[in-house]
Amino acid sequence: MAIPAIAVAIVLAGCGGQAGSGVPKEIKVGTLYASQGPFAVSSVPEYQGLQFWAAQVNQGGGVLVKAYNKKIPVKIVAYNDNSTTATASTLYNQLITQDKVNILVSDFGSVLTSVAVPIAKNNKVLLFDPTGTGASFFTADNPYLVLTSLPSSGIWPTSLANFLLSEKIAKIAVVYGSNDFDQSQAETLKSILSGGGVTPVTYEAVPTDTKDYGVILRNIEAQKPDAVVEFGYAPNDIAFLQGIKTGGYHFNLVFTVFPGQQYAIIQKAVGDAGIEDTYTYPTPPLYGFNQVTYGMGMDDFTKAFETANNVTNVNFLNIAGYNAGLVVQKALETADSLKPEDLRSAVAAFSGNLQTLDGAFKIDPTTGAQVGELLPIAQFQSEAGALKPVIVFPSDLATGSAIYPAK
């Protein structure tokens, strides 16, 4: 699906204005995407997932809006922020003040969501946040935020920390991007490890735009750690894994975040040898849910999305964008009005009772943070000449045992 490189409104159905009866001709969903810059590799597929959701809804005549007791087409109004927060800030304001959207959906990740959170709060517009998981976003004084498709990042490393402690791994090196998404993961990991009597031998923040980990890896190697954990975005993970490969380093355990979300992209960049035996957070479609109460199951979504977009590799960000659309849809079907307070109350009402292809949707009723979709730990293991993600922790989800130390 081609996405223009300039800011442009994408209209999927209908046109602006109100019908004579007071029923809107369309529900405006405002969002941003990044066709260029460091977040494009994640932003574009997430946006395509949201587009796919809107197209599916409109094929059926629109979303059933309880407030009007009728189906109303969805109109997505989208602009290109080119991976910059300054541009994103301007465009989020434009969506609210000029385009008069009913609902906001944030761009990919915590960096680009960070500017949307205060703008939505100050303008009292409900923000549906697919993947901006920075823990600091979710506060008791902000009723205008709902995290839809991942748990808040402060929760992510819980399984990782407990896995490392269960394996009695004591010498652990941690390097993380200096942004809320990565820092909150690092802090949680450090806190849980500390509770288990383990202090990282390296605990280092690096700029989010780091492209060369050569010096960092040499310093880590000098510490002779038993495990190396790198928290970053997809470009960081690629650079980190390439640095290990080109530097000829061998660590007993390596963990990175995004191979579990964008395996095809990272595998293409670093090769099977760069990923084999490494660990990650697995996300759909590395595992998935077909037993759902709302929307398409994993298999049906994969087939329909691949056909609609002429692709062969569905990734997690496609799923995250689609899943965000499902939560928007359910809110519109449930809320008594289009007021953000009523939409937020509707989300709280179905929280804990919605099972989608992404797992159990459940939010903290006070902060809007996602608490239902917890992340296990997987290792990429070779099987019959191909790499396969094997869930190794926790035990109730495990599909195999960890290979430690790595070969």
Asked if pLDDT for residue 42 goes beyond 50, the answer is yes
**pLDDT for position 14:** 36
Asked if pLDDT for residue 56 goes beyond 50, the answer is yes
Residues paired with residue 11 on neighbouring β-strands, in sequence order: none
Task: Tell me: cis bond preceding 394? Omega within 30 of 0 counts.
Answer: yes
**pLDDT for position 4:** 42
- For domain 158-280+376-393, give the CATH number: 3.40.50.2300
**pLDDT for position 21:** 59
Give the pLDDT mean for 87-98.
98
**pLDDT for position 11:** 38
**pLDDT for position 346:** 98
Query: Which fold is adopted by the domain 27-152+287-361?
Result: Rossmann fold (3.40.50)
The encoded tokens of residue 138 equal 């979710």
CA-closest candidate to residue 156, choices 121, 129, 180: 180
Distances (CA, A) of 154 to 132, 136, 138, 150, 187: 12, 9, 11, 11, 8
Q: Is the distance from CB of 287 to CB of 358 less than 8 angstroms?
A: no
Asked if pLDDT for residue 374 goes beyond 80, the answer is no
Give the count of beta carbons closer than 10 Å to the beta carbon of residue 243: 21
Q: Which residue has the higher pLDDT, 352 or 22?
A: 352
Distances (CA, A) of 359 to 352, 384, 397: 11, 30, 13
- pLDDT tens by residue, 142-167: 999 999 999 989 889 999 999 999 99
Tell me the whole-structure pTM to 2 decimals.
0.84
CA 165 to chain centre: 26
Contacts of residue 231, defined as CB under 8 A and 6 or more positions apart, other chains included, come to: 157, 174, 175, 176, 177, 181, 182, 185, 186, 189, 257
pLDDT band of residue 74 (cuts 50, 70, 90) is: very high
Each domain of the chain, given as residue ranges in start order, spans: 27-152+287-361, 158-280+376-393
Distance CA 275, CA 261 (A): 13
The encoded tokens of residue 67 equal 């407030």
- pLDDT tens by residue, 11-20: 333 333 344 4
**pLDDT for position 108:** 97
pLDDT band of residue 288 (cuts 50, 70, 90) is: confident
CA 323 to chain centre: 10
Give the pLDDT mean for 334-351.
97
**pLDDT for position 22:** 84
β-strands 354-356, 103-105: how paired?
unpaired
Residue whose pair of structure tokens reads 């709902």 in the numeric block: 146
Give the pLDDT mean for 231-244.
97
Question: Over the chain, what is the mean pLDDT?
Answer: 93
Q: Amino acid identity of 18?
A: Q
Give the pLDDT mean for 280-292.
90
**pLDDT for position 385:** 84
Give the pLDDT mean for 276-301.
94
- pLDDT tens by residue, 167-222: 999 999 999 999 989 999 999 999 999 999 999 999 999 999 999 999 999 999 99
Helix boundaries (H) for 27-166? 40-59, 85-97, 109-113, 116-123, 158-166
Give the pLDDT mean for 83-98.
98
Give the pLDDT mean for 270-293.
93
Give the pLDDT mean for 312-320.
94
**pLDDT for position 35:** 98
pLDDT band of residue 135 (cuts 50, 70, 90) is: confident
Asked if pLDDT for residue 7 goes beyond 60, the answer is no
**pLDDT for position 26:** 97
**pLDDT for position 218:** 98
Is 27-152+287-361's fold the same as 158-280+376-393's?
Answer: yes
